[in-house]
Amino acid sequence: MNTKRILIVDDEESVCRVLARHLREKGYETCCALTSEDGLRKFAAFRPHLVILDIRLPDGDGLVLLERFRAADPGL
């Protein structure tokens, strides 16, 4: 089975930690980012199948970040 990868982008570290732990327990591979900039870097390296994205981030708008993700991977 090919493990699905999920990127979590949220500026609240506790939210990232809880979501990541829960998803790993369900068999998913996870990666967390706390800022838009970090999210972009990790998106490129991690190549997630799914992104869980906060709309308000300290260094940008989550909806703008979503458009950048979708431009890089239209199937996301």
In single-letter form, the type of residue at position 39 comes to: G
pTM: 0.93
Using left for φ > 0, alpha for ψ between -120 and 50, and beta otherwise, residue 74 falls in alpha
Q: Which residues are CB-neighbours of 30 under 8 A, at least 6 positions away? A: 5, 6, 7, 8, 19, 20, 23, 24
Residue 2 has pLDDT above 90, yes or no: no
User: What mean pLDDT is predicted for residues 3-21?
Assistant: 97
pLDDT given at position 1: 58
